[in-house]
Amino acid sequence: MNTLADDELPFESEMLDRLAEVSIRVGLNLQPGQDLIITAPVEALPLVRRLAAEAYRNGAGIVTTMLSDDDLALARYEHASDESLDRAPDWMFRAMAEAFDNNTARLAISAANPLLLAGQDPSRVARAGKSMSLAAKPAMERITNFSTNWNIVSYPGLAWAKQVFPDKEDNEAVAALAEAIFSISRIDNEDPIAAWKSHQETLTKRQEWLNEQDFHSLHYKAPGTDLTIGLAEGHAWKGGASTAKNGIECTPNIPTEEVFTTPHSARVEGTARASKPLVYRGTLIDGIEVRFEAGKIVDARAEKGEEVFLKLLDTDDGARRLGEVALVPHSSPISASGLLFFNTLYDENASCHIALGQCYSKCFRGDIGDDPEAVSKAGGNTSNIHVDWMIGSDELDIDGISKDGGRTPVMRKGEWAYE
Ligand code: ZN
Ligand code: ZN
């Protein structure tokens, strides 16, 4: 994929300047002297260059960029031996972990072709995925437990755009995806920094209400879903900005619409049907239906991509249990766009979702989150995976259930019931 000069981009290049400004100043809240690691596909270079410039303007120490490329990734799946897939560059993730321990910030650009690996042998995809998850653990852990400030933003890549807008010509598809990304990322207005401030205030109010309620569990009811999700002891709801352990308040996801917390890994009962397809490592998994008993998925099927989904559930002991529960109103800008983005960062922010696997240790009150043993005692799940999937729709009702069994409406027909 060649990268385009500014005047060849099928959208206003000035929008990339705004996106870079929001990413560095709101997303990362990069501090003077801080180093930064950026990972991005080659195609996103017009944005990467602006991010680096904006980072240095804000006093960055060293900006290190690691680029990836779809064809390079495919070369491995198509030509490497099976044994090669059992290995991953663990040295690189150890180095990243060392950098994070030394206060380096982390920025990821999401732009890749969502179905890149769709035609590959699922067992080879699973094999490579497993070794990659294991190798990446030292770096991933520091992201999920917020050792440092981090941010993820998107760039309208061509293959991604063609997936979202299959009937449009190349340039029109990129322009349409760019417009959606810029609007949903709240940068298509006069003052994006102020827009993010007011959005954060809304998210903070929702968290505060949920934290006051201190529900014991949530009960979900929708077609195909009758699910009770116990919440971890001492759980705390979070949303939007978070203070990382290095003391810097960052807004990790751009966009973000969710408030979320840690479920109890042993107290989930009932059935859940996904309301949107899930794209996992390049495979589309659609029509997911699962049944939980004592926190664990005991029955699972999918209409499409079932083999990959079942392999995902067998990744490790924690892969069949929940690590996150998140609330997003159905009227969020992403749902309102009516688009399926084939990208979790977008699709998870369209609707209420749950995640299989690792929990966020920051979603606890007091100092529980600092001690992995206290986290698992409180019900927090451990796994090498964290995979979000959507169960929200305009047919979803959620009740909060208190310890004494009292019920409070939380959502009705996919919208906040108390607002
Ligand atoms: Zn989430
Ligand atoms: Zn998640």
In what helix (H) or strand (E) does residue 227 lie, and over which residues does it extend?
strand 225-231
Exposed, middle or buried by CB within 10 Å (0-12, 13-18, 19+), for 309? Answer: buried
| pLDDT confidence of residue 293 | 98
Distance 96 CA to ligand 1 centre (A): 24
Distance 387 CA to ligand 2 centre (A): 6
Distance 160 CA to ligand 2 centre (A): 21
Those residues whose C-beta lies under 8 Å from the C-beta of residue 270, and which sit 6 or more positions away, are 225, 226, 227, 228, 291, 292
Q: In the chain, what is the greatest distance between 2 CA atoms, to the nearest angstrom?
A: 63
Ligand number with the minimum distance to the CA of 325: 1
- Burial code (b: 16+ CB inside 10 Å, e: under 16) for 227-245 equals bbbbbbbbbbbbbbbbebe
Distance 386 CA to ligand 1 centre (A): 10
Please give the structure tokens belonging to residue 410.
């939380």
What mean pLDDT do residues 389-416 have?
96
Ligand number with the minimum distance to the CA of 356: 2
Please give the structure tokens belonging to residue 118.
């769709």
Question: CA-to-CA distance for 231 and 371, rounded, in angstroms?
Answer: 18
Tell me which of 348 and 84 has the higher pLDDT: 84
Distance 82 CA to ligand 1 centre (A): 33
Ligand number with the minimum distance to the CA of 351: 1
| pLDDT confidence of residue 370 | 86
CB atoms within 10 A of CB 276: 21
Question: CA-to-CA distance for 404 and 393, rounded, in angstroms?
Answer: 29
Distance 302 CA to ligand 2 centre (A): 20
Ligand number with the minimum distance to the CA of 348: 1
Taking CA atoms, 275 is separated from 225, 348, 388, in Å, by 10, 11, 12
Ligand number with the minimum distance to the CA of 386: 2
262 Cα distance to chain centroid: 15
Distance 80 CA to ligand 2 centre (A): 31
Angle CA 333–338–341, to nearest 5 = 85
Distance 6 CA to ligand 1 centre (A): 34
Read off the pLDDT of residues 76-107 as tens digits, 9 standing for 90 and up: 999 999 999 999 999 999 999 999 999 999 99
Which domains are delineated in the chain? 6-184 (3.40.1830.10), 214-237+258-416 (no CATH)
Question: CA-to-CA distance for 117 and 163, rounded, in angstroms?
Answer: 13
What mean pLDDT do residues 172-185 have?
96
| pLDDT confidence of residue 3 | 62
Read off the pLDDT of residues 22-78 as tens digits, 9 standing for 90 and up: 999 999 999 999 999 999 999 999 999 999 999 999 999 999 999 999 999 999 999
| pLDDT confidence of residue 86 | 96
Length of the chain: 419
Identity of the residue numbered 291: R
Distance 409 CA to ligand 2 centre (A): 24
Ligand number with the minimum distance to the CA of 327: 1
Distance 169 CA to ligand 2 centre (A): 33
Distance 334 CA to ligand 1 centre (A): 14
| pLDDT confidence of residue 345 | 87
Edge-first strand listing for the sheet containing 289-293 = 296-301, 289-293, 263-273, 225-231, 217-222, 397-401, 407-412, 415-416
| pLDDT confidence of residue 171 | 97
Question: CA-to-CA distance for 29 and 27, rounded, in angstroms?
Answer: 6
Ligand number with the minimum distance to the CA of 359: 2
Distance 359 CA to ligand 1 centre (A): 10
Please give the structure tokens belonging to residue 114.
């969502």
Ligand number with the minimum distance to the CA of 257: 1
Distance 251 CA to ligand 1 centre (A): 13
Mean per-residue pLDDT of the chain = 94
Distance 61 CA to ligand 2 centre (A): 30
Distance 352 CA to ligand 1 centre (A): 8
Residue 1 has pLDDT above 60, yes or no: no
What mean pLDDT do residues 309-337 have?
94
Ligand number with the minimum distance to the CA of 261: 1
| pLDDT confidence of residue 73 | 92
Read off the pLDDT of residues 355-387 as tens digits, 9 standing for 90 and up: 999 998 889 998 998 899 999 999 999 998 999
Ligand number with the minimum distance to the CA of 144: 2
Distance 355 CA to ligand 2 centre (A): 5
Question: CA-to-CA distance for 39 and 101, rounded, in angstroms?
Answer: 18
Distance 358 CA to ligand 2 centre (A): 9
| pLDDT confidence of residue 2 | 52
Distance 102 CA to ligand 1 centre (A): 27
Ligand number with the minimum distance to the CA of 387: 2
- DSSP-derived 3-state class of residue 388: strand
- When pLDDT is cut at 50, 70 and 90, the band that residue 316 belongs to is very high
| pLDDT confidence of residue 106 | 98
Ligand number with the minimum distance to the CA of 350: 1
Distance 8 CA to ligand 2 centre (A): 35
- Burial code (b: 16+ CB inside 10 Å, e: under 16) for 335-371 equals bebebbbbbbbbbbbbbbbbbbbbbbbbbbeeebbee
Question: CA-to-CA distance for 324 and 260, rounded, in angstroms?
Answer: 7
Distance 377 CA to ligand 1 centre (A): 22
